[in-house]
Structure 1
Amino acid sequence: MNRDLLRQVWVSASAVLCVYGTLLGFGVIGTPVEESAGGALSADATLLAPGGPAFSIWSVIYLGLAAYTVWQWLPVNKESERARASGWLAGLSMLLNAAWITVTQWGWVWVSVVVIVVLALTLGLIVRALTVLPAHGLADRIVVDGTFGLYLGWVTVATCANVAAAGSTAGSPAPRILPVVAMVVLAAAAGLGVLFALRFGGRLAVAVAAAWGLAWIAVARLTGQPESTAVGAVAVVAAVIVVGAALVVRGRMSGARAAEA
């Protein structure tokens, strides 16, 4: 079996396991994520938990991963540099996704933090590789860049929420400190959004997914429980910064290309 075929099989096998994990997380054959680990990952568990509708982005990401699995089997992509650069890491990302859901089923919230951090780093490597190797055609941009851009942006925000959930299981600090900590974490998330814009050429998929998660944190804090106007406001500002940074970087790149032409 040559290396390209082995990579294709790896991605496909990882996709199957990812589907299994998804069925666990959706409660089809397991406990829904929001009910696992004693409810530590529910939409009202911490100040950094996004509102329930935010998680609908997973449907888009999973659809994209399925499309990517098919994409990398197309003859034209079997030996492409983009498939080679992303395939092994893409498979790993799907396995990590399944692993995250599995450990939350067991109530291992702190282990889930380690898994999601590794997942975020893996996705960062994928998007960096895709930035170095430009897309060829609309399908490539949607299926590959779009999928992993959304994946990275969302997981970045989910990591913040996951850390907060793990902290809540260890006992909360004084109530007056919680909003301050949450706002610092949101500021860090905004900083990562700016960093991604600079490093990855202002990818809108990354920015939109991160802003989506931040916006739903804002909605949850302004309209739900636990309520915090300050945290909600900072989440709104963070979402605007993330999208704004991507647009500015893209604008500068377009201007530079126009000047060269």
Structure 2
Amino acid sequence: MSADTASRTTAPATQPRPSDLGRQIGVISAVSFMLIAAVVGVGALGGRPVQDLQGGALDSDASYLAPASQAFSIWSVIYVLMVAYAVWQALPSQRADDRQRLLGWWIALTAVLNGLWLVAAQFTTLPITVLVIVLLLAALGWTFHLAVRRPPRGVRQAVFTDITVGLHLGWVALATVANSSAWFTSIAPASWGEAADPVAIAVIIVVALVGIAIALGGRGRLAPGLAMGWGLTWIGIGRWSDDPMSQPIAIAAWIAAAVVVLAPIAITAVRFARNRT
């Protein structure tokens, strides 16, 4: 093994600081808050399920850009990965890790904002949910940027940090569009009219461009594109089979799903080919 390879697979030997333990506890606390908020958000503690909140504006048939309800099962994957990260980063071996020091508090912030969105949906208004999810998207984007800037050392760092943050980012990027669409629809439910198809397709094109930008910025990381592609696929299914129905929107969503998934694969292939030459 070369010295360069060894340096990428072995964490630098640094001394623990008092703040390191606080960071580990902070991450666990943030993820715990997110899970409690999720329980509240699904109505398990007496509240109403998300699809019934805000007059049904967040339901899968409330707007042209709402994914079918099956799409939201991705939250289970994200929550499992977030819990796994919280447990893993709490290990003594991760306490003084330089990458945990870089990412830990930012991942904790994304967990808190994730939970706050559910609290906002349950107890406040649609505009506030849009504000919270935009803040969550910004925090995830910066966290992902930091993760790319300092690449993972080994498989565990890649899974527990990069894949976790990447899936979270990709899904929230798509969810921000759906949340904003729900808000605009609630303000002027009749305004879509004949403009529904071109407006929604234009938004989907922008989403696809954002997906390509994330793939470029992420140097071919696949997780964000997979999450975005998942959501776009279910937007297509929703518009093909449920009200409000629109075959053009469905087809556009499926094309965009293919684009955001294939973009990081193509970028990785190009990078690999360049490294071979």
Identify the TM-score tier after normalising by the shorter chain. Answer: over 0.9
Retained in 1: the 8 A contact 2:25–2:90?
no
**Amino acid in the other structure paired with 1:210:** M
Give SS of 2:193's match.
Answer: coil
Task: After TM superposition, give the deviation of residue 256 of structure 1 in Å.
Answer: 2.0
Could you tell me how far apart the structure 2 residues matched to 1:174 and 1:105 are? 26
In percent, how many aligned pairs have the same letter?
36
Task: After TM superposition, give the deviation of residue 257 of structure 1 in Å.
Answer: 2.0
Unaligned 5+ segments in structure 2 are: 1-16
Other-structure match for 2:6: none
Other-structure match for 1:40: 57
Task: After TM superposition, give the deviation of residue 179 of structure 1 in Å.
Answer: 2.1
Other-structure match for 1:109: 126
Unaligned 5+ segments in structure 1 are: none
Other-structure match for 1:197: 215
Q: Deviations over 1:196-237 (max 9, x none)?
A: 011111111111000000000000001111100111011011
Task: Work out whether 1:79 is the aligned partner of 2:96.
Answer: yes
Count of aligned pairs: 259
Could you tell me how far apart the structure 2 residues matched to 1:147 and 1:58 are? 11
1:240-259 equivalence runs, <5 A: 240-259=258-277
Give SS of 1:177's match.
Answer: helix
Which one of 109, 117, 120 corresponds to residue 92 of structure 1?
109
Task: After TM superposition, give the deviation of residue 62 of structure 1 in Å.
Answer: 0.2
Retained in 2: the 8 A contact 1:37–1:106?
no
Other-structure match for 1:3: 19
Task: Work out whether 1:209 is the aligned partner of 2:227.
Answer: yes
Retained in 2: the 8 A contact 1:81–1:133?
no
Could you tell me how far apart the structure 1 residues matched to 2:193 and 2:122 are? 28
Could you tell me how far apart the structure 2 residues matched to 1:174 and 1:160 are? 15
Which one of 188, 205, 220 corresponds to residue 171 of structure 1?
188
Other-structure match for 2:34: 18
**Amino acid in the other structure paired with 1:27:** G
Retained in 1: the 8 A contact 2:145–2:218?
yes
Task: After TM superposition, give the deviation of residue 174 of structure 1 in Å.
Answer: 4.3
Could you tell me how far apart the structure 2 residues matched to 1:110 and 1:23 are? 22
Retained in 2: the 8 A contact 1:25–1:101?
yes
Task: After TM superposition, give the deviation of residue 162 of structure 1 in Å.
Answer: 0.3
Task: Work out whether 1:57 is the aligned partner of 2:74.
Answer: yes
Could you tell me how far apart the structure 1 residues matched to 2:153 and 2:43 are? 38
Task: After TM superposition, give the deviation of residue 3 of structure 1 in Å.
Answer: 1.5
Could you tell me how far apart the structure 2 residues matched to 1:31 and 1:85 are? 37
Could you tell me how far apart the structure 1 residues matched to 2:252 and 2:88 are? 39
Task: After TM superposition, give the deviation of residue 107 of structure 1 in Å.
Answer: 4.4
Label 1:45 to 1:174 Cα distance change in 2 as closer, same or farther (>3 A). Answer: closer
Greater displacement, 19-28 / 208-217: 19-28
Other-structure match for 1:67: 84
Task: After TM superposition, give the deviation of residue 56 of structure 1 in Å.
Answer: 0.3
Query: What's the Cα RMSD here?
Result: 1.2
Could you tell me how far apart the structure 2 residues matched to 1:90 and 1:104 are? 21
Other-structure match for 2:244: 226
Task: Work out whether 1:126 is the aligned partner of 2:143.
Answer: yes
